A and B are shown apart, each in its own frame.
Chain A
Amino acid sequence: MNVAVCVKQIPDPVEPYALDSNTHSLVREGKLVLDDSDSYGVEMALQLVEANGGGEVVLLSMAPNNEMGGLRTALAMGATSAVLVSDPLLKGSDALGTAKVLAAAVRTLDPLPDIVLAATESTDGYTGTTPVQLAELLGWPSVSFAKHVEISGGTVKVERQTEAGYDDVTSPLPAVITVTAGVVEPRYPSFKGIMAARGKPVAEHTVASLGLSADEVGFLGARQEVVSVQAAEARSGGEIIVDEGDAHASIVAFLEQIKVL
């Protein structure tokens, strides 16, 4: 079976992020790294392929300046190849614009993948809407928040995380599935994997080569506009419970209130 994984290359979260003062969009110049939340999708893809008789794991990424820093990490982990879409026209793309690009990238694959995996949301944007939009554009079913994924008889069985526990969901293939962080333990690349990554094929595309028009993507195509940005409210000091023999009751009440219990 073949699995495609959407991987986002993001500015290193270790460094403070900057917003463009005119567009309020994240400054993405410079070195980009593999979004940690996508390393789970890559690992899941590798495991699914290994468990189902082999196949290919193809990475799909949209990034400025033909950036490959994050793709290299995922290729070193064991992915077979990558499709990288890079074009100045993509600057300012919203979630839907990104989904259009990724859908076009999926369609360049021959054969089409059996599954497209993605993280539930990216670590730099957090919209969490791109994967389901991608599924809609492809006309495929989507299952989100997967905490366990298994292929069985041409269908995919997913344990879908919910507030109360999880739902068992079965879906026909092909499908788009988003995986939660922690669904699997991402492997560290081996040194052989690192050296092999250098020779793996990366198909580079632009907006035009994917057959998209300039007004569908980037700032021109965006249906969403960030009109203003405000600093997040500073965290308040929290509530201190003094134990006078009854602290447990207060703590249980608090946990019930936030629906942990």
Chain B
Amino acid sequence: MDFSPTPEQELLKEAVAGIAGHYGHEYFQEKTRQGAKPDELWSELGAGGYLGVHLPSAYGGGGMGVAELTIVCEEVAAAGCPLLLMLVSPAICATLIARFGTASQKQRWLPPMASGEAKMAFAITEPDAGSNSHRIATTAVHEGGRWALYGTKHYISGVDEADAVIVVARTGTEEATRRARLSLFIVGTDAKGFEARKIPVEIAAPEKQFTIFLDDCTLGEDDLLGTEGEGLRQVFAGLNPERLMGAAISCGIGRYALEKASAYATHRTVWDRPIGAHQGIAHPLAVAKIELELARLMLSKAAWSYDAGLDAGEAANMAKYAAAEASLRALDQAIQTHGGNGLASEFGLADLWGTARLLRTAPVSREMILNYVAQHSLGLPKSY
């Protein structure tokens, strides 16, 4: 068993850490405060080929796997710039297009997504169908050589900066089970009948959340992604990479927090010695470190399994759970270690709380993961 990264993965880590470190958390904070996007960082990562490391080289990608993309995601977050859009645009959308797109869809979307010039959002969640995709109500009607979409999507990230959104819609119903037959559509954000409205949320991140209204949103035949009626099965191909990126961002935030906490506890002297010499400060940080490294280990295993073509569902879920919990603990303890400074803007910790906390809920909630593990790993009866 070999746990060491390849020389290429080491170089990748070093290069991305260098690029993102050059920007750093202050840059990220400033962009967020202004309501702007971290475009310079995104563009530089794209120009270096880092947003498409997992995409086929024939379409401008790096020809490697999801393991490499998790490295990119984690390093950027560890530099204090967690990019939630990486979960969506490169991880789910580009993966789905690479797997199920036609040659012309791949040609149209993958090179600019790999270079960072194009971004895509992903719309599955609905007001009445959260984690239960079978109840999706958004409908696509096929008539006269075109598709028309009707429905509402909720909590869709990054629509304001996306060129298009992959929308999951109902194209029929299974006779036997009455479950929805789902299909995927690539919908331009400038399409007729497409409207997005911002949902105010208490998260200090450049990515915003939106409700999407689709009312007779007209699409061509070639806007269908993959096979009609196979949408759910296809979506599952993109969900594991999404979970892994969620885990990677959490791990990055955890590393960022612990690094700041260790530096502070080493230098901050209140009485006669640095506060880090006190076990009341040191032990909780050590616990956070252990939990973070365990999460990172599961993340590596899950990414490796996915790239090896093995069933990565269990490991991806476990990694996502462990990473979200570990990053929250690390960030909480880092804030505590800083005393009053932990809440001050200039120490750059408390503003990350919303993002770290979001990752306990999204892209799959902690409870849905526990359901999965109870049912699939432990063989317990299904609860829903």
Contacts and interface: CB of A to CB of B under 8 A. Distances in A.
Contacts of B11: 72-73, 76, 189, 194, 197
A190 B10 CA distance: 13
B19 interface: yes
Contacts of A192: 49, 62
A191 interface: yes
B62 A191 contact: yes
B49 A191 contact: yes
A198 interface: yes
Given A72-B7, A194-B8, A195-B64, A188 B15 contact: yes
A148 B84 CA distance: 41
Nearest to A77: B15
B15 A189 contact: yes
Contacts of B10: 69
Nearest to A73: B11
A194 B10 CA distance: 10
Interface in B261-311: none
Contacts of B49: 190-192
A194 B12 contact: yes
Interface string A143-176: 0000000000000000000000000000000000
Given A76-B11, A190-B48, A190-B49, A195 B18 contact: no
B53 interface: yes
Main secondary structure, interface of B, reads: helix
Nearest to B52: A191
A55 B68 CA distance: 32
A198 B64 CA distance: 14
Contacts of A191: 12, 15, 48-50, 52-53, 62, 64, 68
Contacts of A73: 11, 14
A23 B213 CA distance: 74
B63 interface: yes
A19 to B, nearest CB: 24
B63 A188 contact: no
Interface string A193-213: 011011000000000000000
Interface in A89-122: none
Interface string B58-76: 0000111000100000000
Contacts of B47: 190
Given A73-B14, A194-B15, A188 B8 contact: no
Nearest to A194: B11
Contacts of A72: 7, 11
Nearest to A34: B14
A182 to B, nearest CB: 15
Contact of B62 (A189, A195, A198): A195
A197 B10 CA distance: 13
A240 to B, nearest CB: 20
Contacts of B50: 191
A189 B47 CA distance: 11
Nearest to A31: B10
- Highest count of chain A CB atoms <10 Å: which of B7, B62, B64: B7
A197 B68 CA distance: 16
Contact of A198 (B7, B63, B68): B7
Interface string B199-216: 000000000000000000
A188 B44 CA distance: 10
A72 B63 CA distance: 19
A195 B8 contact: yes
A235 B14 CA distance: 33
A69 B10 CA distance: 9
A40 to B, nearest CB: 15
Given A72-B7, A198-B8, A188 B48 contact: yes
What 6 pairs between A and B have smallest CB-CB spacing?
Answer: A191-B49, A191-B62, A190-B48, A194-B11, A188-B15, A189-B15
Interface of A: 68-69, 72-73, 76, 188-192, 194-195, 197-198
Interface of B: 7-8, 10-12, 14-15, 18-19, 47-50, 52-53, 62-64, 68
17 contacts: A69-B10, A76-B15, A188-B15, A188-B18, A189-B11, A190-B47, A190-B49, A191-B15, A191-B53, A191-B64, A191-B68, A194-B15, A195-B62, A195-B63, A195-B64, A198-B7, A198-B8
